[in-house]
């Protein structure tokens, strides 16, 4: 079933993991897919790639112009690009600060995970407004809903993405554009698989369905929100987390 037949989709951070799986799934459902990534690689057959820095407004605008020149439209934007730089706000020992979240790491995560979502959406939105149609999908996280130890910067970005999504749902809804977010839980990406087995076992134990999520689980959520079946879903945060509540 070609649920995205004729649609043009951009997937940021689509070189691997959830982004690559989403790009492949969208392509299999009939979409023409463009992956934006700093090192785009080759996510799959029939997928166009472009080396793009989502934190650079000029580069993003050029990428949008190229996409429109090639395809005439942009129907779907998946703001998937994201990074981690975890550390406690402050770490104390015997009353002395022995560690803290570095300002550079705070700024880096904000730049990609929050500003990057803003920059890409602001650049793509005029194209969608002119066409009277669009789907803006952004990667939040279960930690953006509940918080998580050692992730001040990451949680701030994901909570911010949820807030921006709800603003855009109001601003762009009357123009034929919906904006929604997906909030994954523990997903078995390459980064997660590299963790010690004891840590992975703890993740599974904390997830009520007793398994880690797969990239395909999140990609399927994006597919639903990008499809016509979700035409009345706007401003929503769809949790794909196996029922977990982080931080409890």
> CB-based contacts of 193: which residues, under 8 Å, 6+ apart?
200
CA dist 213 and 47 (Å) reads 24
Q: Return the HEC string of 67-81.
A: HHHHHCCCCEEEECC
| Per-residue b or e along 102-131, where b marks 16 or more CB atoms closer than 10 Å to that residue's CB | eeebbebbbbbbbbbbbbbbebbbebbeeb
For residue 35, with 0-12 CB atoms within 10 Å meaning exposed, 13-18 middle and 19 or more buried, which class applies?
buried
DSSP string, 167-226: HHHHHHGGGTEEEEEEEE-SB--HHHHTS-HHHHHHHHHHSTTSS-B-HHHHHHHHHHHH
Q: Active site includes 154?
A: yes
CA dist 65 and 199 (Å) reads 44
Catalytic residue among 71, 133, 154, 224: 154
Residues that are catalytic: 154
């Amino acid at each position: 079933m070609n649920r995205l037949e004729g649609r043009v989709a951009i997937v940021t951070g689509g070189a691997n993991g959830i982004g690559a799986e989403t790009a492949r799934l969208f392509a299999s459902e009939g979409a023409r897919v463009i992956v934006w990534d700093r090192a785009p690689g080759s996510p799959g057959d029939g997928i166009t790639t472009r080396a793009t820095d989502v934190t650079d407004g000029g580069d993003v605008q050029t990428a949008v112009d190229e996409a429109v020149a090639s395809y005439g439209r942009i129907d779907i934007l998946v703001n998937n690009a994201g990074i981690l730089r975890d550390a406690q706000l402050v770490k104390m020992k015997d009353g002395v600060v022995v560690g803290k979240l570095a300002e550079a790491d705070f700024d880096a995560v904000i730049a990609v995970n929050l500003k990057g979502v803003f920059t890409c959406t602001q650049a793509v939105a005029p194209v969608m407004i002119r066409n009277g149609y669009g789907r803006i999908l952004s990667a939040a996280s279960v930690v953006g809903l509940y918080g998580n130890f050692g992730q001040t910067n990451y949680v701030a970005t994901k909570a911010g993405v949820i807030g921006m999504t709800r603003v855009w749902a109001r601003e762009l809804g009357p123009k034929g554009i919906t904006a929604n977010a997906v909030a994954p839980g523990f997903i078995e990406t390459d980064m997660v698989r590299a963790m010690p087995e004891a840590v992975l076992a703890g993740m599974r134990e904390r997830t009520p369905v007793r398994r880690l999520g797969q990239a395909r689980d999140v990609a399927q959520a994006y597919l639903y929100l990008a499809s016509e079946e979700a035409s009345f879903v706007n401003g929503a945060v769809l949790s794909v987390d196996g029922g977990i509540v982080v931080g409890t």
